[in-house]
Amino acid sequence: MQFYNLIIKYRFWLSLALVAVGVILNVTRTGFWPTFPIYFVALIGLLSHFFIGPLRLIQEPMEKGNIEEVEKILDGVWYPNLLYKPIRSTYYTIKGNLAMMKQDFDTAEKHLKKSSDLGAPMPEAEGANKLQLGMMAMQRGDLKQGESYIRAAIRAGIPDKESEAVAYISMCQIFMNKREFRAAKDFFRKAKALKPTTKQVVDQIKEVEKYISRMPG
Range of the domain at 34: 1-51
The tally of domains found in the chain comes to 1
Domain contains 201: no
Q: Please tell me whether residue 18 adopts helix, strand or coil conformation.
A: helix
45: in domain:
yes
Is 139 a domain residue? no
Residue 192 counted as domain residue: no
Amino acid letter for position 32: F
Q: In which region does residue 65 sit, left (phi positive, over 0), alpha (psi from -120 to 50) or beta (all else)?
A: left
Residue 87 lies in a domain: no
Count of CB atoms situated within 10 Å of the CB of 1: 6
pLDDT at 49 > cutoff 70: yes
Got the DSSP string for 118-133?
H--SSHHHHHHHHHHH
pTM of the model: 0.73
Burial class (CB in 10 A: 0-12, 13-18, 19+), 163: buried
At 56-80, the pLDDT tens digits run 888 888 778 788 998 999 998 999 9
Instruction: List, for residues 173-209, the tens digit of each pLDDT value.
Output: 999 999 999 999 999 999 999 998 888 889 999 999 8
Q: Per the domain annotation, does 212 fall within a domain?
A: no
Does residue 169 lie within any of the structural domains? no
